[in-house]
Amino acid sequence: MNLLKVIGKRFTRNRLSVGGAVIVLLLVTTAVLAPFIAPYDPTAIDVYNVLSPPGKAHLLGTDELGRDLLSRIIWGSRVSLKVGFVAVGIAIMIGIVIGSMAGFYGGRTDAILMRFVDIMLAFPTFFLILAVIAILEPNIFTIMAVIGVTSWMDVARLVRAEFLSLKERDFVDAARTLGISNTRLIFRHILPNALSPVFVAATFGVAGAILIESSLSFLGLGVQPPDPSWGNILTAGKDNIEVAWWLSLYTGLAILVTVLSYNLVGEGLRDALDPRLWEAERE
């Protein structure tokens, strides 16, 4: 049976993961189609509907400037998903390069690179991000870069562990016998077989990046108003929690559902890609 079919069949056995995947697909579709499905301009101020509760005109209510909350949440999803995907992409690229070098060459190269990883892990990631953002201009590009540059360590360790195992396999010895260069051996032959845990880590990483971006925007160090972000919407909700509960509730639910969905997909992928579970089923 085709490998992808086997993985798909194993993934669909987990109903929670399938539900999470459906929600993720809906979220991505919503983010892409935001200009067409948002009922209002997310930055349009309406002084006649300040802090209006949910109703027919504004399904989720309005904020302190009369801006439609549903429209801002929809547009905010674009920011969150963009940060999640780009930041994780940066982290994966850095982690793959460092993990591959450490696992393939071993010895002194491995020792130096892994000590660097240990040093990076010793820093509290969120506070390191706060320090860098406080120095640089807080915008979406800075946030994506900083989150990516400070989140690659787990990927590097996963890739290294896979390389330490795979480089002892017979197909690697055969490739060496044919005179294949180390660079081609790493990226053409070993790396494709080491990507399964990376896919799982990437899924969890997107959820983590969305949380970090929301936290930074909540603290005023992320996406700056009037551009909508789930974090700065929560800030407005905090300031008006006594009179506008809907600002915090619906935005918080959006973050909760998004992060939970990505985590459920990650759990399903981890089980579907785990060869040890395949062997247990055969037995």
Q: What is the pLDDT along the chain (283 residues), one digit of tens a residue?
A: 466 777 778 888 888 889 999 999 999 999 999 999 999 999 888 888 888 899 888 899 998 888 999 999 999 999 888 888 999 999 999 999 999 999 988 889 989 999 999 988 888 778 888 888 778 777 788 888 888 988 899 999 999 998 888 888 888 888 788 888 888 888 888 888 888 888 888 999 999 999 988 888 888 888 888 888 898 899 888 888 888 899 999 999 999 999 999 999 988 888 887 665 554 455 4
Give, to the nearest 10 degrees, the angle between helix 153-166 and helix 69-105.
40
**Is it true that the peptide bond before 35 is cis, omega within 30 degrees of 0?**
no
Spell out where the chain has E strands.
none
Burial class (CB in 10 A: 0-12, 13-18, 19+), 82: middle
Give, to the nearest 10 degrees, the angle between helix 107-122 and helix 69-105.
150
CATH superfamily of 10-34+62-272: MetI-like (1.10.3720.10)
Burial class (CB in 10 A: 0-12, 13-18, 19+), 127: exposed
Sign of the alpha-carbon dihedral angle for 17, 70, 231, 94: positive
Report the alpha-carbon distance of residue 92 to residue 202 in Å, rounded: 7
**Domain boundary assignment for the chain:** 10-34+62-272
pTM of the predicted structure, to 2 decimals: 0.87
